Homo-oligomer: A and B are copies of this chain.
Amino acid sequence: MAGLHSEAEASLRVLVQESPFDVGTEMACLLAGSIHIGGLGSFLGVVRGGNGLVALSLEHYPGMSEQMLTKLASEAIRRFALCGCTIIHRFGRLLVGEPVVLVLAAAPHRADALDATRFLIDRLKTGAPFWKSEEFSDGRCRWIESRVEDEEAAAGW
């Protein structure tokens, strides 16, 4: 079914923002785009607590981050039979439990929606210019290093 929807037909929404987003609104917006949607896959990344972590600070490269996420969304639409997809990535200081990133992929069939969701989040981890710094309750701050498993997951597609 790959190639069912051309890039021109499929909807594509990419946002890089400091402010929160509303998952329900984003899903409704994507679903309103096509009556051919049978499944909507999603991944929401949140700031995971533990080990005294207080917050994450996300830095990004304005202009390049939007451009890389848009390229990634276009590639998902080329590779999977999607009706549309949405990527929203936040930056700035985010507390434990706060949403960081949202990926949505809508398709006629669930396999495409779920494959595309996973493709998008796997590639996004190492393929878009965002950097995370951890802030702990004792005041320490530490840049997160890239993980070999993330590089491998991205390369696996």
Residues of A within 8 A of B (CB): 22-25, 27, 31, 35-50, 96-97, 108, 110-111, 113-114, 117-118, 121, 153
Q: With A31-B97, A41-B43, A43-B114 known to touch, is A36 a contact of B50 (CB < 8 Å)?
A: yes
A sample of 7 inter-chain contacts (CB < 8 A) reads A27-B44, A31-B97, A35-B48, A38-B45, A39-B45, A41-B117, A45-B110
List residues of chain B with CB within 8 A of the CB of A36.
48-50
How many copies of this chain sit in the oligomeric assembly? 2
B42–A38 CB distance below 8 A: no
A140 to B38 alpha-carbon distance, docked (Å)? 21
Which among B43, B47, B113 is the interface contact of A40 at CB below 8 angstroms? B43
List residues of chain B with CB within 8 A of the CB of A111.
153
| Closest B residue by C-beta to A107 | B48
| Closest B residue by C-beta to A40 | B44
List residues of chain B with CB within 8 A of the CB of A35.
48-50, 96-97
In the assembled complex, how far is the CB of residue A27 from the closest CB belonging to chain B, in whole angstroms? 6
List residues of chain B with CB within 8 A of the CB of A40.
43-46
Which among B31, B97, B113, B121 is the interface contact of A110 at CB below 8 angstroms? B121
